Amino acid sequence: QKEVEQNSGPLSVPEGAIASLNCTYSDRGSQSFFWYRQYSGKSPELIMSIYSNGDKEDGRFTAQLNKASQYVSLLIRDSQPSDSATYLCAGQGGSEKLVFGKGTKLTVNP
């Protein structure tokens, strides 16, 4: 069973702080990883994609991938109340299907 594990949280950070979200995966064949943000009652919205080891930055977001440790993370700098949502980590291996974790609920307190 190919799995993606996330700490379900909730994770609470003050406004302006760095939020750190983590994800591990079991399938060593996974090559592509994605972070989605999902507001309550809404559909997932793509934030970041990462395909190779290292860091990838996009604005306030940084994704990190370590294939040896089977670990993916998302850092959100200068967190804003509008970042409050559930963050979903997804992996993609030999199949094109995405395997999602259960998500981590983030609350940013003003």
Partner 1 sequence: DTGVSQDPRHKITKRGQNVTFRCDPISEHNRLYWYRQTLGQGPEFLTYFQNEAQLEKSRLLSDRFSAERPKGSFSTLEIQRTEQGDSAMYLCASSPGQYQPQHFGDGTRLSIL
Which of 10, 14, 28, 31 is close enough to bind partner 1 by CB under 8 A?
A: 31
| Binding flag, residue 101, partner 1 (CB under 8 A) | yes
| Binding flag, residue 103, partner 1 (CB under 8 A) | yes
> Within 10 A of 95 (CB to CB), how many other CB atoms are there?
11
CA dist 104 and 23 (Å) reads 9
| Binding flag, residue 70, partner 1 (CB under 8 A) | no
CA dist 8 and 51 (Å) reads 24
Choice between 76 and 90, CB closer to partner 1: 90
| Residues near 70 by beta carbon (within 8 Å), at least 6 away in sequence | 24, 25, 26, 28
CA dist 4 and 88 (Å) reads 10
Q: Name the minimum Å distance from CB 69 to partner 1.
A: 21
Say which DSSP state 83 is in: G
| Binding flag, residue 18, partner 1 (CB under 8 A) | no
Q: Name the minimum Å distance from CB 73 to partner 1.
A: 17
Binding site for partner 1 (CB under 8 A): 4, 31-32, 34, 36, 42-46, 49, 51, 88, 90, 92, 95-103
